[in-house]
Amino acid sequence: MSQRKVLELFYDVVSPYSWLGFEILLRYKNIWKIDIQLRPGFTGGIMHATGNTPPAMVPRKGAYMSRDLERLSEFYEVPLRNPSDFFNSIIKKGSLSAMRFLTAVQMSHPEFLEEVSRELWVRIWSEDKDITEPESILQVRIRAHSNGHSIALYNHRLLFVLL
């Protein structure tokens, strides 16, 4: 019998394509005989360091992405829709605090990383809700049913520690 391959998924919850990839990989991991290693990473930092423009901010790419995501959402049955204030929710606010939170979850309680990641994606890409404020992160933690572990929120910069 062949050994299962490990696939690393580097992702940011600000990306709807990451969410689609996440759900598809998890859905088919047993059929494809793969184990998924989740690796949260802040794409805003990568974009800044490389001088890239977010794809949605390039007019033709943005228009294509909107139609493409609608089709993919329907085909893969992932309830994805654009936030009502896309620029403010995605471009201006970004995902730094959410990704810091996911990194803390990965370091302290990796068994919750899948659930918490999904809840963040659902919150921003399905429910049109914030993912940057402390109260928003707390709601994600509550919805992910993190087995009674609590989250300490430190100052307005949203540095998270799981206790």
- The whole-number pLDDT of residue 157 equals 38
Question: Domains in the chain, start-ordered, CATH in brackets?
Answer: 5-162 (3.40.30.10)
- The whole-angstrom separation of Cα 163 and Cα 109 is 10
**pLDDT at residue 156, as a whole number:** 35
Q: How do residues 87-114 score in pLDDT, each as one tens digit?
A: 777 778 889 999 999 999 999 889 899 9
Looking at 15, 18, 73, 95, which residue is catalytic? Answer: 15
Residues of the chain with pLDDT under 70: 1, 145-163
DSSP-assigned letters across all residues of 111-148: GGHHHHHHHHHHHHHTS---SSSHHHHHHHHHHTT-TT
Distance CA 67, CA 52 (A): 22
SS3 131: coil
pLDDT of residue 145: 66
**Residue 15 known to be catalytic:** yes
By DSSP bridging, strand 151-154 and strand 159-162 are antiparallel
- Global confidence as pTM: 0.84
